[in-house]
Amino acid sequence: MEGVLPVDKPAGPTSHDVVRAVRRVLEMRRVGHTGTLDPFATGLLLVVLGRATRLAEYFSALPKHYSAVMRLGAATDTDDATGTVIAASDRWRAVDTAALERAAMTQTGTIRQRPPAYSAKKVGGQRAYDAARRGEERILESVDVHVSALRITRVALPDVQLEVECSAGTYIRAIARDIGDVLGTHAHLVELRRERIGSFAVADAVPLDVLDPARIRAACIPPLEALAHLPRVAVDATAEAALSRGLAVPLAGPSPGGPVVASREGRLIAIAEVVDGMLQPRKVFADV
């Protein structure tokens, strides 16, 4: 079995716990995922099976859609409800919807965002969360992220429900933290659910607690179909034979940017790049 399996992760398990569960059910080792989802978060995790584990990098950069609940009035060391409160304020009682909307606007568009201290970002070759757990203070450099939409969908102070559409690498915990700072109230995230990754939706995902081989087969998306977001070039039998041996072939037509999917008769042949008008295979999937 190979392809992309959308899984609906519950709160609690790590992303690697999900991978281990799929390995156990399918009795196969070649299983991975395309991007970590925090243990306290729920929702869509893309699991890759078999040879599709080689495709993980082509999904990790897809935009994400989250629903979340932030709680005003307290900051935590993790920026979410799993952490220890490090600051508190009652100023949230004076916050109105207009102030919330203005604060939310500061977190839209391309922004500089400081990753949470407890995150997978590497500092000096180590994961930030490892250093934080040892009590070491590490300064995480702010990075550019893009938030294409941030909507306030419900206000029941001190809780505020949000919908966020953003680029890969964006921390919703950091958005909550920074909105709290703008309001002068402090804030942290208490709920997080990933609804979409690119065109993949959690509505089509298999819940982790009902995984079985039949459900996995039914939900598993074939590699070629899963790569629909990449430009595609149809090749003939001669080109397939060349690509399968790692040889470049001429590209007919305009040159798309970035990785290109080479296919034939509904099969994934290779992921290639266009170099001087030639399709240069980078990852071959055709049987030699």
E strands, the chain, are 3-9, 31-33, 42-49, 64-72, 74-76, 85-88, 109-113, 122-123, 126-127, 143-156, 159-166, 187-197, 200-201, 206-207, 232-234, 249-250, 260-264, 267-275, 278-284
Q: Does residue 38 carry a catalytic annotation? A: yes
Q: How far apart are CA 203 and CA 200, in angstroms?
A: 9
- Distant-in-sequence, close-in-space partners of 38: CB < 8 Å, separation ≥ 6: 80, 173, 192
The one catalytic residue among 8, 17, 38, 181 = 38
Place of tokens 């933290």: 177
- Distant-in-sequence, close-in-space partners of 173: CB < 8 Å, separation ≥ 6: 38, 78, 79, 80, 116, 188, 189, 192
What burial class does residue 127 get, using C-beta atoms within 10 Å of its C-beta: 0-12 exposed, 13-18 middle, 19+ buried? middle
Give me the active site residues, please: 38
